[in-house]
Amino acid sequence: MTHKNQANAQDISEISQLLLNWGFFRDHKMWDELRSTFVDDGIIHLTWYVGSIQGFVEGSKAMSKSPVKTMHVMKPSIVDVNGDRAIAITPASIMARAEVASPGLDLTSEALFYDFIVKDNGIWKISRRYCIYQKDRLDSIEPSLVFWFKSLWMDTSQFDPAYKYLGFMLGKSGFAVQPGQYVDNTEPTRQLYAEGKSWLAETPTLQLA
């Protein structure tokens, strides 16, 4: 393995750990550590929040006080590195459990995290994160005719089918879905991928040892 390939492999390993850490920190209320996964002026774009990482952390604190419990299952990432820049695509299952009413409900949302990543003082950090939604589902925790009956009056028509149950559950928890969400295999998402490819191809900044 050449020195360049060794460096690239090390970068990919560090970036992969960064992305796994983000999910762990978010789910375990490790707010300072969560904040440290982003650069200072980093932004994040997902259903219930679009804006700075600082605002996302504060919003996550508020969400953590809700009776709805969430978990992010982060899967192996596709990582492409060029100097001090990288693009990463990470499949994830966003899961939530709500037991505040009968029947209790489980939500599963399948999505991709699309990250613009930079080396900040020698440490890989997320600069921009976009969530790209694929599909979701809502299930009763226990077999329930009540759930089936209630589902007949569950209005999800205002949301894209890729995140309709996620949007519905967020609304019930007091969080509004923000406009301009990304859905897999759509033109806006293809444009985002093209932007990432162009950004990554720009001349990288040399890192001095």
Please give the model's pTM, rounded to 2 decimal places.
Answer: 0.89
Confirm whether 206 is domain-assigned.
no
CATH number at residue 40: 3.10.450.50
Q: How high is the pLDDT of residue 155?
A: 80
Whether 202 is covered by a domain: the verdict is no
- Residue 138 pLDDT > 50: yes
Q: What is the dihedral of CA 108, 181, 193, 31, to 10 degrees?
A: -70
Domain count of the chain? 1
Whether residue 119 is contained in a domain is answered as: yes
C-alpha distance from residue 120 to each of 9, 26, 78, 85 (Å): 18, 21, 21, 10
Which range, of 55-64, 121-130, 135-144, averages the lowest pLDDT?
A: 135-144
What one-character DSSP code corresponds to residue 158? T
Residue-wise pLDDT tens digits, 113-130: 999 999 999 999 999 999
Q: Does 201 reside within a domain? A: no
Give the pLDDT confidence score for residue 4 in this predicted structure.
Answer: 52
Could you list the residue range(s) of the whole structural domain that residue 37 is in? 3-195
- If you average pLDDT over residues 87-91, what whole number do you get? 98
What value does the mean pLDDT of the chain take? 89
Is position 94 within any domain?
yes
CB neighbourhood size of 79 (10 A): 22
Looking at per-residue pLDDT, the higher value among 149 and 36 belongs to 36
End-to-end Cα spacing for the chain: 20
Residue 2: per-residue pLDDT: 44
Length of the chain: 209
In a domain, 48, yes or no: yes
Among 103, 38, 119, 30, smallest CA distance to 72 is for: 30
| Rounded distance between C-alpha atoms, residue 80 and residue 195, angstroms | 14
Instruction: Give the confidence band of 208 by pLDDT, cuts at 50, 70, 90.
Output: very low
Structural domain contains residue 207: no
204 in a structural domain: no
